[in-house]
Each structure stands twice: as C-alpha cells, then as structure tokens.
Structure 1
Amino acid sequence: MDDRDALTTLISAPRRPLEERWRSPARAAELADARARHDADPDDYWAWVAEQHRWLTPWHTVRSGELGDFRYFEGGRINVADNCVDRWAEDPATADRPAVVWEGEPGDTRTLTYAQLADEVNRLAGGLRALGIRQGDVVAVYMPNLVEAFTAIHACNRIGAIYTVLFSGFGRDAVASRLAAARAKAVVVADAIHRRGKAVRLLETLRAARSDAPTVEHVVVVDRTGNGVPLHADEVGYAALLAEHPEGAPIVALDPNEAAFLIFTSGTESRPKGVVHSVGGFLLGTWANVHWQAGPVEGDVYWVAADVGWLTFPIQAVIGGLADGATIACYEGALDTPSPSRFYDVCERHGVTQVLCAPTVLRMLRKFGDDLAASHPLPRLQLITVQGEPLDGETFTWTTETFGVPVVNAYGQTETGSTWTYPVTGVDDLKAGSTGTPVPGHAFAIVDDEGTEVPAGTKGNLVLTRPFPTLARTVWDDHERYLSTYFGRFPGRYATNDEAVVDDDGHLWVLGRADDVINVAAHRLSTMEIEAVVGTHPKVVEAAVVGVPDATKGTVPVAFVTVAGDAEGVADEVRTLVGDTIGGLARPDRVIVTPAMPKTRTGKIMRRLMREILLHGEARSDTSALEDPGSLKALAAAVRG
C-alpha cells in the first residue's frame, strides 16, 4: 500500500448521520442564516456576532486590513467583563443562574451565581486599582482551576489590565522567565493547590522566582489550603482585598483591538513566545465558538475538563462560556484521583450535560474499562466535544457507543484563539476522526510546499486565507517574530504549520504538525496516519509515533504504546498490523510498551520529549508544561528495555 492509499484508508470513515433526538431545527435554521451571511460576505457574519453583545460605544467598521495587519469593529468600545458577567447579573432572569459550579480535588465545592460573581469581580477590580494597577498593566494569574481564576481574569478585564495565565505546574524558572518577559506588575496566586492528593506550593515557587522578575510589585494570595500562610510585606490576602473594596471599580471602555491577554507557548525555543489576543476579537470569537460547538442553553451544565493554563479553558469557560450565559462546571484536580471514577463522579454530582476535554481523557476512560462506564450511565449527558489533539477513530467509536451522545471533534490553535472547524452541535453529521467543515467566518486552503492549492484527497499544508477576530494580533514585544513565524512561508496566508487533507465530502482531516511528517526512504508519512493504525490493535489504549534518524532510510517511525492487560506479543503484532495496513515503509522500527506517556496537564502527549529520550536518553527541551516528571523516568526505562 502506497502513501496515497494509506491516506485514503485514514479518511474513509463513513458519514455518521446525527440521530434525530440530537437534532435542533432551530439551530439548523440559525446556522443556515449564518452560513448565508458568510457566503455573502464573512464580515457580514461577524457583524451579526457583534450584535449579540453589549457595546459601550457603537462601532462603525467591521474590519479593516488583511492577514498580518487587521482590525475589527473600529470606532467601538466594549468591555469583556461587562459582557461575560455584568449583563447577566443585571438581568433578573439570569442574576441567580449559577455561573460557576466548582469542585476541588479534596471534594470541597462552591457555586457562584452571576450576581455573586459580579460582586466578587467588582471588589477584586477595586482592590487591584487600589494597588495601582491601571489599564495596560500586566497581571499574572498563577493558579489552577479555582473560582478565583475566573474572578482574577474578569477583574483585569473590568479595568483594562492585561492578564497572562501561568500554568500551575510551572516551576521556578518557567515562572520567572514569563513574569520577566511579560513585565508583570502584579500576580494573583494560590498559596498551594491540591493535585493527586498532594499540596503543590505555588506561593513558594513564586517567591523564589521573584528575584528574576523585578517588575512584580504586588502579590495577591488566595488562601486555597485554609492554612493562613504568613504574608510578606508586598503581599496581600485575596479575601482581605475583597473586604476592603466593596465600592469596586468602574467599567473601562476599551478599543476592541487592544491587547486583552497574552499566553506563552512552550516548545523547543529558549525564549518564551507571548501570543497576544485582543479585547473584542477574543470575546466575540469565543462567544461564537461556544455557541456553535457546545450550544449550552438554560439548565445545561457545561464542564470544560481542561486546565486554565491551556487556552481552551479561557475560550470555552472563562470568556466564551460566560459570554454565552452558560453554567460552567470547574474541577481543580486530576481526573483519576482519588479513583478512576472521578470523571463520572463529577458529571453525576453536578448534573453535567456537555463535556469538553482532550481526546486523551477519553482514551483514559476507555482504559479504565467498560464496566466502570456502565456503572455510571450519566443520563443528563448530551454532548462530548474534544480538541487539542487528533481524535482517532477507535476512541471516537468507543466514546459514541459507550455514552450514546454525539462526539464533536474540533480543531484550533493557541494562535487562532478558538476552534474554527468542527461539526456544529445539533446540526451537522459526524465522521470518526474528522474535524468537520469550517464554521462561518473562517476560510482555509490546503497547499503544497510552493503554496499551490492541492485537490481533495491530497495532503498538504493547512493555511488560513482571511482574518477573523480571534486570530492572534502579534507576539509580545516582537511583531517581526509574529510576521515571520505565521506569514513568512506563505505570504498573505496564515501558516498553521499543520498538515491536513480534505475528503470528497469537504470534511477536513488534520494530520498533525508538519514537523511530525517523516520522510522514510523518500516517502512522506504522517505520524498520525501510523498512530491511527496502531490504535486499532485491540490491546492498545494510547499510541504516539515519532520519527528518528536512520542511516539507511533517513528517518524511521518508532511507536510508543500503552496497553490494557498483558503486553506479551503486542509489539510484534503492532509492527505487522502497520505493515499490512499501510505498507512496509510505515512499519515501526520499534514498538515500545510504556506504562506512561509524558503529557501536559491538559492531556497533550509531548512527542518532542519522547523523541529526545530516544535520541539522547533524556529530555533536553522545555519540560515546564509536563504534569508528571515521573513519566519521563518510566519512558526512559521502557526505551532502555
């Protein structure tokens, strides 16, 4: 089987019609109108999105400029906190609606209505103002999924401060480098958090990092553990700050193109890259994202089972979810702590109706077994939607059959600020592994290395061909880096640096990073294509494939797998399976059975670290986003055999 045949096999999943019980005629009509607006002029669609929000000053121009230098809703003034919190708190019909339903890993819970959330956000905004935080100042939020993450972000939004969320798994050096790069003036931090039954002491890490972050003047400490930790001279307790400022702070009217926040990407580069998103663009785009992807309505409980440090959480929960007036479920800890039933327990306890997670979460549930799933039927659940990694067909099928709900697979990037292609919930049919078709307001192309569009069924480079509001506007302090990274290779188009293919039905299949495409004896193979086949082995629960140098073939694939049950014979069977399905060139040079894979806290497999361990026996690049350092030791031991 040649590479073209392998690709055809990968994208040959039949269209799975959406069951009638999940169809919404009202949403179908609304989507048809939105698509008609897009077809007439995508800017007309974004004007409709803008009409769903509250503007402090009307805008006069939908868009000016093109990719690399564009603006939206010029002349207008808007505030994110006003749209996500205040407008719901002021409406008697929604003031008492739960906004955030929170659960900590130890089992403690807290629920804030929109009215209560508005009061706490306003008080914290007043407190930040009293500390000297003004419009354009940077405030870092260093904590996990706590209610205070919502209030800190929206307090910044209220006064026009720029926030940056630091992953709560970051160590001293990662925190220091990001605080210094952002020139943060203040930090809101939890004293410690609960993770896998242990206390992770964030305040200690922050204090150690501050010697290399001289711009930080104030620290607001959330007493998560209730231990009343003694505070230093320039630190103030979160609860005390709220109590001291019942007057709050006035809403600041902001240009929708101003910087709202920056998020630092992790990778092989030594210099942190702070991607900047805009005030109005991110607000409007994430509202649309949640509206089409999850479609929450009154009475629903939308659980975004992701970490606040992953942009998915601000997109789907803190900004997009609240902009939709949704009730957001928020969980602090690990999804398998204290037992494998924790995911199901959270769903049952809070009446969850929609879940968003990484595909890795579904593979974890599959590994835990059918019996556990059967003992937790989750009758209120209506939707599972995933993003962050490719969704393999086996996991799609297992999830669909096990939970009996639609499984929506979405695609986006940190830089795109939202997912932009997926089957619209309640309307579109599904295909196992496909990311559907672009939602209104977005346009793309698949091009070869010279920038020429390729026909359906041919894989190539995925590029975006026109601007949209949530697309990142710059790289913090380095606009040239922004232009060269995203627009240098294909001028006039945004390079995702992902490979993809469109099938004959127009469905998009994202194959993975372009740098994960390996060249084996002059044949280009996507690691996702190989992973998809490896994942069909009945004992394989999770698979990751990387390419390593080979003196004869240039590059060869190596597969890592975790298995359910006895691993005897699995490696040889997987090699045979890949060879028979794709061809001898794709057969893994090695299949390594490992008890754990290195992942971020949000469940993304860190394949670059796996490649480094294969090549060097150790991880050599940035490990700051790694959840469990022990997974690297387990992986290294598996590599050594």
Structure 2
Amino acid sequence: MDSNQAVWFPHEEDMKQTRMYKWMEKLGIREYDDFYEKSIDDLAWFWDEAVKELNITWKQPYSKTLDLSKGLKYPNWFFGGKMNICENAVDKWVANTETRTNKALIWHGDDGKEIIYTFEELSKEIDRAASGLSDLGVKKGDIIAMYLPMIPETVISMMAIAKIGAIFSPAFSGYGAEAVATRINSAEARFLITADGYLRRGKIVKMKKEADRAVSMSPSVEKVIVVRRCGSDIPWDENKDVAWGSLLKNESTYTYPDTDASDPVMLIYTSGTTGKPKGAVHTHSGFPIKSAFDAGICMDVNQGDTFFWYTDMGWMMGPFLVFGGLVNGASIVLFEGTPDFPAPDRIWQLVERYGVTHLGISPTLIRSLMKHGPKWVDQYKMDTLKMIGSTGEPWNPEPWMWLFEHAGKKKVPIVNYSGGTEISGGILGNVLLKPISPITFNAALPGMDVHVYNENGDSALNEVGELVILKPWVGMTNGFWNENERYENSYWSRWEDTWVHGDWVIKDDNGFWTITGRSDDILNVAGKRLGPAEMESVLVEHASILEAATIGIPDEVKGETAVCFVVLNTGAIFDDLCKKELYDLVAAHLGKSLKPKEIYPVEELPKTRNGKVMRRLLKASFLKQETGDVSSLENPDILEIVKNLNIVIPEYDRKE
C-alpha cells in the first residue's frame, strides 16, 4: 500500500464540530494551511489566543506574551504572569457547579480493582497531600523525585507538588535503583515519593526495595514517602520513611503561593545517547499548556471526554495524559499492568467499559497484539472512540492498517503524533481537518515553525533531511537542569538559531510528512541516505516477520551497509528460503544496492517500556561499543545476545 494514499477523510459536518475548526472560524480563518502560516508568522498573537481558547486562569495577567531578550534558546513566555497549573487542571473545574462532580480520574488496576475520583474529590486529596508535604518541610522550589507506578496517588502527588510551587521529577516505574539514583542525584532531590510495589501480570513488583537502594546512593534525600499499593511487607526506616496516609490528615484547603508562569514545575529526564540522562526543565505555563493545546485543539479532547494513553509517568506521555486531559476538563484513565494480561483484549475492554473517547498507543503495542489475531478486538464495538493517538516510533503500514480496520472500524482517525520530552508534545501530527494516510503526518502542528533541511542547510522536498524548528514555542524546554551548555550543543549547535531535533523526515509534494528514523540511526549506503523504518517496513511485509529493526555498520565498499534483526511471527521458521525472500523483498522495494549485509532472527528487540525500539543500543551492542545509558530498557539482556551475534558476519550469496 502507498503510505501517502489517504484512507481517512474528514466529513464536513464532523469537521465543523471540532474545536480547531470552531476556533479558526472565530478568528476569521477557514483553511488550515492559512491558519498554520499565521500561527508561525505571529507567535505572540497565536499563543495569546491559544491560552484564551484553553481558558487558562491567571492570578496576575501577563504583560507580554513572548520576551526574547535572552535569545531564541531561552524564550520567556507570558512575561509577568502568575498562575499555577493545579488551579487550571483541577480547581477551576471544582469552582464550576456544573463540572465539579464530573469524573476526573479513573484508575484500573492489574487485579481489576477500580478507583474513580470526581474533580471535587481529587481536589480535596490534592489539598490534603499539599498540606502534608508542606508540614513535612516541602517548600517552593524544592525538587521531589517520584518513583511511582500508574496509581491515583501519582497524579495527586504531581498536583500537590505543583500547588506548593515545588518541582516534581518523575522516574519510570520499571527502573532499577541505579537509574533512579542517577536522576535523584542530578536533581539533588530532597524528597522521594514511592510505593511498596505494584502489580504486573498478577505479580508484585517490589518498588520499595529498589527505592531504598537508590536512596542509599542519594545523599540529598531527607525523607521517603511511601504509598501502600500492595500492602506487602517492606523494610522501614523510622528516621527516614513516611507513610503516605500520615500526610493526608489535614482536611483544610491548601492556599496557593504566588507562582510565576515561568516557575519550574517539572524536571523530567530523557536518556542520552551517551553519558548521563538529560534533565528537561518545564514550567507551569510550558509543558502543561502545550500538552493541553495539542490534546484539546489538535486531538479534539473536550470537556467531558475520556482520555486514555497507555504509558508511564516517567515518559513524557504520562504527564501529557494528565495535563492534556485535566486542563481540558476531560476524565483521564490510569492503567496498571500490561495490555495482554489477563488476556489480549484488556485495552479494548477498558475502552468500552469506560467510554474512552481518545485512546493513545504505540506501534509496538499494536504489533504485539496483532499476533493474537483480530478476534480480541473485533468483539468490542467501542462506539465512543473518536480518535486513536500514536507516538513513540515510526509505523509500518501493515500494523497501522490493522489498527485502523479492527479498532477504528475504518471510521476512527489515527492521529500520528511526534515530538518529544523537550518539546512538551508534538511537532508533527494528523489534524482532523485534513485527510489521513497510513504511517505519515498530514501537518506541522500550529505554532511549530517546522522545516526539512538537507546537509547544506537548504530546504529539502521529496528527500530525506533533518527536521528543524526555526522559532520558539510554548513548552520548549527551559534548558537542561544545570547543563545549559549541553542543551545548546544538543539542539542549537549545527545551524545558527535553528533547533535541530534529531529526526530524519521526508516532506512530499502532497504535504505529507514521513519520519524515517532518528538522524543518529540513519544509514548512508553508497551515498544514499536510508531511514531504518523504510527497510523495516519492507521486511514486515513478509508473512513470517512480526517486527524488524535496521542498523548501519561500516562497510569497506559502500561506506555503510545495513544489518537487520527480525522477530518472527508465532510458528514461523527462519531458514535459507525465508532469508532469500527477505533479501528479494528489499531488492524489489528499495533496489539491489540496498540489500542488507545480514539478517538475524532474534526473540525480541531492545525496547523501552513504552515500546520504543532502541536502534542505537542495537548498533552499539552489535559493534561491541559502549552502550551508554540503558536504564530505560525493559529487556537489556537482549543486548548481550546481539553482541555475540557479531563474531563473524557470515557471507550470503545474493547473486541473482
């Protein structure tokens, strides 16, 4: 299938009911492309109008929408304004008698347990937690590390910390002690909030044990606050450990301190290609507003909708779910466990059970569910579903169409969404005012001045190039924590006043964008650039192949050549015939010169818990190089297997 051939088209009446269309109409603009151009031509006007449309509440109005006195790298948004994101996410809905009893938070546990909070109930819990944290000594500007699973207390903690004016720093719930300690020490966090454990596939994952090990390596931590999720026996230090329940004794309303729009609210770490993780700094008016804008205006999340993204709070899509949903007055669904336990229909079951309107997944998740067959999804109507969001990695056409046909019933749009932790949301997406084609993006998102540059820094069309952004946006990271030189070197060092994101993309004549991979993953085979996703999409067309990953290795003749790793479908056999068919597929689609050097069958690919395939780690392991930070991996053992594959690269007769 041609990935640039649209398969979903907006119906005019439905399109006119979207928040984006209504807003454009209010501004006197009818066409998306005209709206987009105006959004990047006048950034101050655009984001001023955006926060009005999102109904952001200000304790003190800002005097200037955008201050660039420190240059493009360090914009100051909503200069002079005072606001607190907790008020905008929760308390403003409580102040309205029509919305205070609406569902705010729905939690579904691995064991089937369920907890539901209204906005009013959630606000009371946040106040109690904020009072308890304040009594414990937490003050404005303090950093509180969070090592928590997806449970209600995670959201309550985030909001209580924000309400105090402190800074929360979430870590992935699957990390080991060393990875957690690295982040705590970088942030110099005074407090850690954790849990005794959580359930995964019916078994208890012991978090407190890892948390204690992390704290033993983290001298800045004064107190450890522990949520009792499982009620299991855990080690306890009377001098340092504090029970979460003991914080909640104060029923009084917590009074907001003065927080500036530019005050930090979240410090979230991303894994570096080498060295220690990078701490992206986000403000009250940064990450939450960009997330709320992308969810509300671009994905059409409305007040009263139900928003569910399968993620973890240590990944940016966790906070995105919280702010993208709550700031828009929607319910958010938190999910503990795995999508295929106790059966492969769990995600679809929850969509129907809770009336989910907006579902977020990753391509890897869909590929893993596909192998169980469509019966697990076809049995559910899911009539409430308005949109399926996807992020984390490039798609291949087959799983995209499988999702569109079976979960979306060929009616629900799939909103491909790509950006990053440092972006606070998306750069490219699928807006609901334009046709959508498999695996591609139909638009640069409003307010994002996006271009594709070739190696000379010139605009590129119909060829692979670097994704760049030429103007600042709301949500842009306010540097890296105590490492602004590293921040500037990471994004601003190649071309002057140009953010180089690190993605290779192609923009075609029809306005569709395709991400082919990270620029550090790109292959240059005999002078031809090849995105790994291009070859991977070809390989997974074969009936035996479930997943594939491609890396580039040095080659004496071509400069670089491809090596591929494939995961087989259940019951498939990888033999000489299968391998020849795969080589022939690549030759037919991409040309004989791009045939891979070798194709290896593996049981799994190295992935983060949210499903992102880590090609850089595949490459480093295969070439026996230092892998750098591997703390985000769910399955690091696969790297040792890959390392041992490259003893001698076998030759393979590929003559016609």
TM-score by length of 1: 0.93
Unaligned 5+ runs, structure 2: 30-34, 651-656
SS in 1 for 2:343: coil
Q: CA deviation at 1:634?
A: 6.5
The answer to whether structure 1 residue 431 and structure 2 residue 470 are counterparts is no
Q: CA deviation at 1:505?
A: 2.0
SS in 2 for 1:475: coil
SS in 1 for 2:520: helix
The answer to whether structure 1 residue 274 and structure 2 residue 264 are counterparts is no
Match of 2:347 among 343, 361, 376: 343
Measure, in 2, the Cα distance between the counterparts of 1:562 and 1:20.
42
Measure, in 1, the Cα distance between the counterparts of 2:3 and 2:405.
20
Q: CA deviation at 1:48?
A: 1.2
Does structure 2 retain, via aligned residues, the 8 Å contact 1:592–1:639? no
Match of 2:188 among 175, 183, 204: 183
Measure, in 2, the Cα distance between the counterparts of 1:347 and 1:14.
26
Aligned counterpart, 1:55: 58
Deviation readout 1:22-59 (Å, 9 max, x if unpaired): 53445323245472752662321100122221000011
Equivalence map 1:22-421=2 (5 Å): 23-27=15-19, 28-31=21-24, 33=27, 35=35, 38=39, 41-51=42-52, 52-65=55-68, 66-227=71-232, 229=234, 231-232=236-237, 233-243=239-249, 245-315=250-320, 317-403=321-407, 404=409, 405-421=412-428
Aligned counterpart, 1:18: 10
Percent identical among aligned pairs is 31
Deviation readout 1:315-334 (Å, 9 max, x if unpaired): 1x212211011111110111
Bigger shift: 539-548 or 466-475? 539-548
SS in 1 for 2:293: helix
Measure, in 1, the Cα distance between the counterparts of 2:635 and 2:149.
15
Aligned counterpart, 2:621: 613
SS in 2 for 1:250: coil
Does structure 1 retain, via aligned residues, the 8 Å contact 2:209–2:234? no
Bigger shift: 27-36 or 361-370? 27-36
The change in CA–CA distance for 1:380 and 1:559 in structure 2 (over 3 A counts) is same
Letter in 1 for 2:97: P
SS in 2 for 1:81: helix
Q: CA deviation at 1:375?
A: 2.6
Measure, in 2, the Cα distance between the counterparts of 1:363 and 1:581.
22
Measure, in 2, the Cα distance between the counterparts of 1:477 and 1:630.
33
Bigger shift: 189-198 or 607-616? 607-616
Measure, in 1, the Cα distance between the counterparts of 2:335 and 2:646.
34
Measure, in 1, the Cα distance between the counterparts of 2:240 and 2:191.
10
Equivalence map 1:430-579=2 (5 Å): 430-454=436-460, 456-564=461-569, 565-568=571-574, 569-579=577-587
Measure, in 1, the Cα distance between the counterparts of 2:14 and 2:631.
41
Measure, in 2, the Cα distance between the counterparts of 1:343 and 1:326.
19
SS in 2 for 1:516: coil
Does structure 1 retain, via aligned residues, the 8 Å contact 2:3–2:397? no
The answer to whether structure 1 residue 628 and structure 2 residue 621 are counterparts is no
The change in CA–CA distance for 1:561 and 1:216 in structure 2 (over 3 A counts) is same
Does structure 1 retain, via aligned residues, the 8 Å contact 2:165–2:257? yes
The change in CA–CA distance for 1:478 and 1:619 in structure 2 (over 3 A counts) is closer
Q: CA deviation at 1:571?
A: 2.6
Measure, in 1, the Cα distance between the counterparts of 2:463 and 2:221.
51
SS in 2 for 1:362: helix
Measure, in 2, the Cα distance between the counterparts of 1:23 and 1:393.
25
Q: CA deviation at 1:368?
A: 1.8
Letter in 2 for 1:349: R
Aligned counterpart, 2:604: 596
Q: CA deviation at 1:72?
A: 0.7
SS in 2 for 1:364: helix
SS in 1 for 2:248: helix
Deviation readout 1:584-619 (Å, 9 max, x if unpaired): 222122222222222111111122222233223x98
Letter in 1 for 2:405: E
Measure, in 2, the Cα distance between the counterparts of 1:151 and 1:364.
32
TM-score by length of 2: 0.91
SS in 2 for 1:314: helix
Does structure 2 retain, via aligned residues, the 8 Å contact 1:11–1:509? no
Does structure 2 retain, via aligned residues, the 8 Å contact 1:567–1:593? no
